[in-house]
Amino acid sequence: FDPTREFAKVVDEMFPSSKEDIFPAATAAFQKYMDGNEQFIKDSIAKQPDCFKKMAQGQAPKFLWIGCSDARIPPNEIVGLGPGDMMVHRNVANQVIHTDGNAMAVIQFCTEYLKVENIIVSGHYECGGVKAACANNDHHAPLENWIRNIRDTQRIHKKTLDAIKDPDAKHRKLVDLNTLEQALNVYKAAVVQRRRAYTYARGEDIKPRIFAVTVDPKTGELKDLGFDPKSMLEEDDLESVYKLYDAEAAKKAYGDKNEPYNPRPATWRKRRNYNRVGS
């Protein structure tokens, strides 16, 4: 018995030279994706011959969708929009966390540069992230750190949730509340406040508009949660805690000035605040 030779034989069996021999199923699956891409191109051109030429010229989406990473919730398909119509940001349990540079960069880019008119925060029922946050288990970092924000939502709304005895109904309510809290986090963001103050000062519809919706995977239906930041912050005058831009002061100072909306410059001294008369 030669242990070295036997070991070499095991290694040869585990790691054959051909990649196709190691991962035949994976190779076939990848080819399926490539074939699917070819079909997508053919179908798109059949519907609109110049679709890719238009996409190559740039984008001007009206919507930003902030949703869950769940594979069952494809944003464009759910709302019937095609490529180029909606920017999409997704993460576990559709969180909007102000220390998350990824989410904040997306919101800033969409608000200041693309000037999207609508931001939709979408949760969904049967959400694994929300269910994980309901379990008294340490899911370990970084997941546990992430879903702790949903645990905070439970804390804020504990009385409401404790009054619901049916587990499924309680889960659905927490999904709704989590989605509303994340929409409120969008509303709190400085870049969103600034854009909304500017549009109000110019006498336009306040933009970006913010919506909170949930998707039911059992039916595919969207439910509008009727997001109203004023009512969520009216208790104890919490609006004054988060308010960074005074829309009324902005209207008085800049309402008659025909100036375009410009992104915030890196130099703070040149920043147009839209929050103080004569600033």
Residues annotated as catalytic (active site), given as ranges: 68, 70, 72, 124, 127
Residue in 113, 121, 141 with CA at minimum distance from that of residue 64: 121
Instruction: Scan for tokens 């103080």, then name that residue.
Output: 276
Report the SS3 class of residue 207.
coil
Report the SS3 class of residue 99.
coil
Contact 192, 64 (CB under 8 A): no
**CA pair distance 213, 184, nearest whole angstrom:** 13
**How far is residue 41 CA from its own chain's centroid?**
27
Phi/psi for 163 (5° steps) reads: -75, -10
**CA pair distance 32, 197, nearest whole angstrom:** 49
**How far is residue 195 CA from its own chain's centroid?**
18
Residue in 148, 88, 76 with CA at minimum distance from that of residue 114: 88
Q: What angle do CA 157, 158, 161 make, to 5 degrees?
A: 90
